[in-house]
Amino acid sequence: MSESSSLDGPSSLDGPSSLDGPSSLDGPSSLDGPSSLDGPFSLDGRVVLVTGASRGVGAATAVAAAARGARVACVARSTDAAPKRIPGTIDQTVAEIVEAGGEALAIPADLTSPDDIARTVSMTVDHWGRLDVLVNNAAVTFVGDVGVELKRHDLVMAINVQAPLLCVRAALPHMRAAGRGRIVNLSSQAALRPVPGLMSYGMSKLALERMTTDLARQLVRDRIAVNCFRIDIPVASEGTLANMGDVDLSDWEPTSVPAEGILWMVEQPDEYSGYCESMWELRHREGIMATRAEREFAKKPPLQFLQGLHDVDTDNAFARRTEP
């Protein structure tokens, strides 16, 4: 398979175009007073940057954040002017937000480019005067295991690991200036168990979870909480469906369901930091993300890293089936 795809999020390399002109700038002062040191983190009035926001979980998260009063920078490559193979553009995401009465900005970016990453943050801050929340959602994969082409393996690592790190570095000065911040990274069940055909992708997501726990320790005194949301319930994102064989989708959730869990993480108090949380576990522990599928996904996913010879006879679901 030569096309890129994502196991659970959007396919990532998405991005250009803007539907919004300049708006009034807010200063970098904090929205939180002294009394809210241990309180929830409200999205109302915040500025949120979401990568991979042209479709799938990224687009759904951007729309949901705007519905809670946030101003949202939608970053990706797919635009109305330059669409990709998989449906969805950042222009469409921004249009949906604006039509609902929200504020959003479309920012084209190639997340393999450090200069583009720096520009996405600077454009966001230039437009709204602050940055409070970063959602590192963009991800890409190529099907292949030990024989995967090195250039494809390197691309997976560049977008799934290096880009989130560079986004954090660019965002930190602005979150510190705001006095408080939130970072949520998106992971996958492939981080904990081997998924046939997705070795590089799984490696990248495990690295992202490790980075999450390290950043949380480094940034706790800045009141910047860093957490990771692991998608381990099937989610019917465009990027995943475009590259799957024939599968039963009756227990697959729409992208709005994980978006709810991601924003739940954002809104927790400052001390909620350094967690790599399972979507399945959060649903059952916190009573959030009620199923919107035809039937609820019932199989409990692994919650710890699996060792040994696990699922050695599992089929590669990403291999195209050509038989009738």
Just list the catalytic residues. 201
Residue that is written with structure tokens 């369901």 in the block: 257
The H or E element that residue 136 is part of is strand 133-136
Which of these, 279, 263, 296, lies nearest to 7 by C-alpha position? Answer: 279
DSSP assignment letter at 183: E
Q: How many CB atoms within 10 Å of residue 320?
A: 11
Which of these, 171, 183, 186, 74, lies nearest to 131 by C-alpha position? Answer: 171
Report the number of secondary-structure helices (H) and strands (E) in the chain.
9, 7
199 close to 148: Cβ distance less than 8 angstroms: yes
**Pairing outcome for strands 71-76 and 47-51:** parallel
List the structure tokens of 288. 């959030």
Phi, psi of 217 (to 5 degrees): -65, -40
What is the full DSSP assignment across 21-64? -------S--S--GGGTTS----TT-EEEEESTTSHHHHHHHHH
* 18/24 Cα distance (integer angstroms): 16
What is the full DSSP assignment across 222-233? GTEEEEEEEE-S
